[in-house]
Structure formats: structure tokens, C-alpha cells
Amino acid sequence: MTDPPNIYKITSKTYQSQLGEPKFIIIKRNDNNSFERTSPFIIKKSVDFACGGEVEGCKRTRDGNLLIKTKNELQARKLLKLTKIADEDVTASEHKTLNFSKGVIYCNDLRHIDEDTILQELKPQKVSEVKKIMKRQNPNSNSDTNNITLVETGLIIITFESHKLPEIVRIGYETVRVRDYIPLPLRCKKCLRFGHPTPICKSVETCINCSETKHTNDGEKCTNEKNCLNCRNNPELDHQHSPIDRKCPTFIKNQELTAIKTTQKVDHKTAQHIYFERHGFQTKNTYAKTLTNGTTQRTTNTPSPNIHTNTTQSQQQNPHHTPKSAAQNTSAKTPTTEPAKTTLLSNQPHQHHHHHSYDKLEDMDTDYTPTRKPSTTYSSQLTEDLKIKIFPKDKSNNLSINLKASKLKAKAHKNKHTNNSDSESI
């Protein structure tokens, strides 16, 4: 009699391997109706009770059925026994494609072994299907097309009973690397367009040469010029080729999209975004993207608080700035109204001034600072090194302009009182 296993030596990884891998389960109603009007709370309670705990995920498909991803194979076996949800008869079954993965191997030693024998030997490695990739070969190009033979290439498509593709597979004593199987783009054989299969196509049959409505019988060749219906609407692409040509730009684009979806495990919309970024195409701007770009642009365009910009702005707004003595001599000629003052300032030429040193506080122009500070919630910052008042970065341009205008107004008012006192003393 063998001893029982030591449960203390069983790690979490070993326990997960014993439970099995996750599975995808489809739940359908027996009356062919959807779960749109079924309460999501009842669905969760029914699924959790059947599985003995919460599952990895659950969502509703386009046709109204439930797609459930379990955490392990044990939950999947329990969920397959579910028969009722909210007094409705249901049927649970495994998904036909999501629980499987396809890969490609190359083994020259399997060229002359049939597919059934290979499948029988690889079943212990969870292989469910084996298909060889053949190549058409015509020994004589001048002979009839019926003499074309199929030649093995050594490439084999293997389907595994797992949603995760293994990295290697054992072929006898050899170790062969498994690569992702990238299928051809989905194209309708009736209308020759991409994105849907032939059985659900509602369009008319299209000629494989000129892309018009089929006008030839079986065995006859179209004599019109070649024209591709997938490329003729794009002026940047050449459309003078057959729509089934492997060198078609649209076919190459869809082939790359299929490769992105297969290798990166993403949906079609995400694959298109990756494709556009890879080839430098500009995607359509959304509201959030436009708002973000506008905020970033306003932040980068905000002027930096330095001495040069502040002095330049003050010179532009007060180009006739002169010392006190000159201002007192010409104060009688200066109008008192603000509109006339603005007109007079715009007509005067720009004057060059001597640059003052701002190393000490006494060297600053005291006339620029008003006697009364404007009432605002923003406070100016006085740096210890430069000894100059600067505006914070978060202050808007309108507030800055209004503050400077109030300073000029206070300066003019001060000059007016100074002139009146001088005239009274005389």
C-alpha cells in the first residue's frame, strides 16, 4: 500500500496544474432568446453557485449568449452541468475556437509520414488536429493544368487543446519550436471584399478580373482591363490589378492586421491603431485628445517669468518713459483723458533706454510699482536674488494685462498730484 501524498510539499503551481487550465464556456437559452432582460445579479449568483466560486470573467456576446471564462478546468466541468438560470432552461457547452490554439512547426523528418500517424503520436501533448501544408508544383509549365501535383513542404499546422500555445513540441527525441499560425485574411469569395465569409454575403457575385458584376460563364476568361474594387476608391493606391492578386496593397494591409491580431492577442480596432502608428498614419482626433493637446499647447506657450520679458512688456506699453524731471516739464502738455493718452502713445516713436542694474532694490524704477496694490487673490513673488516682482505661472494673460493697466493709471494719477503741488508752490 502506497503512502498518501504529502500535502505540505504541494506548491501553488503544482496545485494549479492539477486543476487544469482555464476554459471558455458558452451558455445559450433553449428557447433561442437572449439574456438581455435577465438580471445580471441572478446570472452571477447562478454561475457562482454552479462553479463553487467566482469565475474569471463573464460577458454577453452579440447574439445575446453568455461567454464565461473559468479559472480552471474544474470550474468548467461544474459549469457544463448548469441547466437553469432564472427559471429559464439553458445549455452550456465549450467554445469551439477559444479553447484551442494553432501553431506551425517545421520538421523535415515527417514528410513521408501520414497525418493520422502523426496525430496518434502527438495526442499525449494535447494535440487535437494535424494538417500538412502542401505546395502546388507543375513539372512542365507547357502542359495542362490538370497535371499539377501537390508536394510536401515540411510545414505542419498543429491544433492544441489549450488557449495558450506551447513553445516546443517533442518529435521523438527531437525538440521542435512552435510558431504562431497566421491565417490568410478573411475574404469573401463572392463579392471579393475583406471582413466577412461567403455564406453570410448579401452582395452580387463579382468578376475576379475587372471587379464588375460577373458576366462570364465557368471556364471563360474576362477580356476587360484589370481593376481591383478594394483599391480603386483610394487614389494613393494602384488599382490596375486583379482583386485576388497576392501583391494587392489592400491584401497586404489586411495580412499585416491579421498578424497583429494573432501575435498580440488584440481585437480588430486595436490592431488598426497599432498598424496606423507603425506606418505613420494620423488617426482621427477625439474630443479628449483635442482637449489634451490644447491644454498642453497653452502650457508651453505661457511666457517664462524673467527680467527680459517683463522689461520688454513695460517698454512696449510705456514707450515714452522719461525721468521725473522731464515728466514734470511736459506734464502740462499731456492730456488728462485716457483715450487721448492712448492715441498719443501710439503715435510717438519707440525710444531706447539705458538698462538699469537690478542687483539692489534701490536701483529699481519705483514709479512702475503703484502705491495701492490691486485687490486680487493672486500674490506676486519677490525673489531674493533678483529683487523683482514676477507673476506666477498659473496667472492668466488677462489678469496680467489688467494689473499693468492699473499700474499705469496709478502712475498717471501720481504725476498729476505732483504737478498740482508744484504749481501751488509757485
Structural domain ending residue among the three candidates 137, 155, 180? 180
Structural domain ending residue among the three candidates 71, 94, 117? 94
Count of structural domains, the chain: 3
Same-domain pairing of 89 and 105: no
pLDDT class for 262, splitting at 50, 70, 90? confident
| Residue type at 357 in one-letter notation | S
Residue 246 lies in a domain: no
Query: With a threshold of 0.75, does the pTM exceed it?
Result: no
Residue 392 lies in a domain: yes
* pLDDT tens, residue by residue, 329-339: 444 444 444 44
Print the domain residue range for 122.
Answer: 101-180
Residues in the chain, overall count: 426
Residue 330 lies in a domain: yes
Same-domain pairing of 311 and 410: yes
Residue 220 lies in a domain: no
CA distance 88 to 46: 11
Share above pLDDT 90 across residues of the chain, in percent, rounded to a whole number: 34
- Number of other residues whose CB lies within 10 A of the CB of residue 169: 20
pLDDT class for 347, splitting at 50, 70, 90? very low
Same-domain pairing of 27 and 77: yes
The whole-number average pLDDT for the span 245-271 is 89
* pLDDT tens, residue by residue, 363-390: 444 444 444 544 444 444 444 444 444 4
Residue 186 lies in a domain: no
Same-domain pairing of 323 and 401: yes
Same-domain pairing of 330 and 370: yes
CA distance 85 to 91: 10
The whole-number average pLDDT for the span 45-67 is 90
Residue 126 near residue 161, CB atoms below 8 Å: yes
Residue 407 has pLDDT above 80, yes or no: no
Domain of residue 13, CATH code:
3.30.70.330
Share above pLDDT 70 across residues of the chain, in percent, rounded to a whole number: 62
Which pLDDT score is estimated for 362? 42
Which pLDDT score is estimated for 349? 45
* pLDDT tens, residue by residue, 102-143: 999 999 999 989 999 999 999 999 999 999 999 888 766 555
* pLDDT tens, residue by residue, 160-218: 988 889 999 999 999 999 999 999 999 999 999 998 889 889 899 999 999 888 888 87
Residue 259 lies in a domain: no
Same-domain pairing of 172 and 119: yes
Which pLDDT score is estimated for 235? 85
Which pLDDT score is estimated for 289? 63
The whole-number average pLDDT for the span 88-98 is 90
Structural domain ending residue among the three candidates 135, 164, 180? 180
The whole-number average pLDDT for the span 237-261 is 91
- Number of other residues whose CB lies within 10 A of the CB of residue 259: 16
pLDDT class for 144, splitting at 50, 70, 90? low
Same-domain pairing of 19 and 68: yes
Residue 230 lies in a domain: no
Same-domain pairing of 51 and 35: yes
Residue 66 lies in a domain: yes
* pLDDT tens, residue by residue, 273-318: 999 998 877 555 566 666 766 666 665 555 555 544 444 444 444 5
CA distance 118 to 123: 9
Which pLDDT score is estimated for 324? 44
CA distance 366 to 321: 13
Contacts of 136 (CB under 8 A, 6+ apart): 148, 149, 150, 151
Residue 139 near residue 180, CB atoms below 8 Å: no
